[in-house]
Structure 1
Amino acid sequence: MIKTLLFDFGDVFLNLDKAATFRELNQLGLTDFSSEMIEQNQLYEMGKISSEDFVGFYANAIPKSNSEALVKAWNSILLDLPKHRLEFLQQLKEENKYQLILLSNTNDLHISWVKENIVDFAEFKACFDAFYLSHEINFRKPNADIYEFVLEKHQLQPNEVLFIDDTQENTEAAKSLGIHTWNIDPSQEDIVNLFSVKAALF
């Protein structure tokens, strides 16, 4: 029996344009993400380096760029939070049948943009019993330790948790720990249909 709903943020609630960041950085002169860049991205996502150092790294890697343009390019992935998804979440909170937890790989620049540009963000965050962002807890998906952190923190039984994420690597990692999963396809599926898609679990 499911007692806890564990949600990703991007492309579950918040619409993303995942190709946008590289497209915009390419306009600034980046031809490809090097292994060093990927490592920096992951460290930044885990809160291991500051926004200033992160932007400085890319400014050195893309000499014709500047901090303002880099931040704009980095945040171009972020789009909008549809009202119907917020209303779905608010209904879940009101019914109070499940513990609601958010678990997102994100970073300081992204969440700062969200707070400034998504007018319903405070209402959205208020729906959750716990709200975990990778750069604040220093873990990131799909590493097992991030799921173990949530399970231990809230004394959860894995078979009583349903985790919804748009990245298969993340849901597979959770599944290996015994957590129920829905690898949602944002191009064809919507979180508001959770209880019909996963009816067998409820």
Structure 2
Amino acid sequence: MINTLIFDFGDVFINLDKEGAMKNALNLFKVESFENDMLQTNINYETGKISTPQFINFYLSKFPFLNKEDIIDAWNYILNDFPKQRFDFVNKLSSHSNYNLILLSNTNELHINHIEQHLDFFHDFKDCFNEFYLSHEIELRKPDREIFEYVLKKNYLKPNECLFIDDTKENTDTAEAMGFHIWNIDENTEDIVNLFEVKKELF
């Protein structure tokens, strides 16, 4: 029996422009691909190992022809719209069901600050969840087993009583191997508002 729903944030609730953001960044940085030190810095930032000033200063030192605003704008380029019907869905779920609702997102301070500033209903959205776990705050990230173990232990959960929804297959693969029910949602063809139709066999 499912008693807990664990949701990713990006491309589950808020739409992301991953391809556009990558093209924009590569053009801005004048490189053909992200180098290893850039990838590691991004991971360090996403897991709270470095601060926002340290993150920005890394890119400024690597690309001195850019300024702080260039870096921030490029980093936040990925963030797209948040369809209101998805908020309405989880808000209704929070108000009219007994499910334990958890958000589990790989994210960072700049992204969350940007969303807070530009999304009128962000705080109402956040209040829909019993727990709201952000990777940079708990210093763990998907797809590592440790982040799932953290959520289970903190909330006294059993994996087989949880449904984990995420658009990234390596994240749902880890969860599935640990005994979670999963929905590897396709952001191009599926929508979280149809959860109970798509996964009706679980409910």
TM-score range, shorter chain: over 0.9
The answer to whether residue 2 in structure 2 is matched with residue 2 in structure 1 is: yes
Partner of 1:148: 149
Partner of 2:19: 19
Letter in 2 for 1:142: P
- More deviation, 23-32/53-62: 23-32
**Percent of aligned positions that are identical:** 52
Partner of 2:29: 29
Report the secondary structure of 1:135's partner residue. helix
Shift of 1:96: 2.5
Shift of 1:26: 2.3
Partner of 2:83: 82
Shift of 1:21: 2.5
CA–CA distance in 2 between the matches of 1:96 and 1:136? 28
Cα RMSD of the aligned pairs, angstroms, is 0.9
Map Cα deviations across residues 103-150 of structure 1 (whole Å, 9 max, x no partner). 000000000000001111011001000000000000000000000000
Q: Which runs of 5+ in 1 are unaligned?
A: none
- More deviation, 159-168/30-39: 30-39
Q: Is the 8 A contact 2:6 2:101 kept in 1?
A: yes
CA–CA distance in 2 between the matches of 1:20 and 1:51? 23
CA–CA distance in 1 between the matches of 2:15 and 2:28? 24
Partner of 2:186: 185
Q: Is the 8 A contact 1:28 1:64 kept in 2?
A: no
The TM-score, its normalising length taken from structure 1, stands at 0.98
Partner of 1:39: 40
CA–CA distance in 1 between the matches of 2:29 and 2:19? 16
Q: Is the 8 A contact 1:15 1:78 kept in 2?
A: yes
Q: Is the 8 A contact 1:7 1:165 kept in 2?
A: yes
Partner of 2:117: 116
Instruction: Number of aligned residue pairs: give it.
Output: 202
Letter in 2 for 1:45: E
Partner of 1:126: 127
CA–CA distance in 2 between the matches of 1:94 and 1:22? 38
CA–CA distance in 1 between the matches of 2:120 and 2:184? 27
Report the secondary structure of 2:103's partner residue. strand
Shift of 1:23: 2.0
Shift of 1:27: 2.8
Q: Which runs of 5+ in 2 are unaligned?
A: none
Would you identify which runs of 4 or more consecutive aligned residues in structure 1 move more than 6 Å?
A: none
CA–CA distance in 2 between the matches of 1:183 and 1:159? 16
